[in-house]
Amino acid sequence: MTFDEVKVFDGIAERTGNQVDRETVRGSKSICQSVSELSRKVRNQGDGYFYLAAKAWPENTTRVDLIAKWTPMS
C-alpha cells in the first residue's frame, strides 16, 4: 500500500508529490485511510504533514478544505 504525503496549512490540504510505502510510515500517528480521518486528525493535531492512502484523494482535485466554515441559518 502506498501513501501520498499531504501538507496541511490553515485547514487546506495539498499533496506534496511524494509517495511513501507502508514500511516508511509504520508507527506514525499521521497515517490516514480516508479524507474524513485526515480531517479529524487535523482538527486534533493541527497543521503539518500527514500520509493519506493514495486511493483516498478525491479525483480531479488539487486542494481540499478540511475545516468547513459554518454558515448561520436564518
Distance CA 39, CA 21 (A): 21
Q: Smallest Cα–Cα separation from 51: which of 20, 74, 23?
A: 20
Distance CA 4, CA 51 (A): 6
* Res 72 pLDDT > 80: no
* Res 27 pLDDT > 70: yes
What pLDDT digit, counting tens, does each position of 37-58 carry?
999 999 899 899 999 999 999 8
Ramachandran category for residue 17: left, alpha or beta (phi over 0 → left; psi -120 to 50 → alpha)? left
What pLDDT digit, counting tens, does each position of 5-18 carry?
999 999 899 999 99
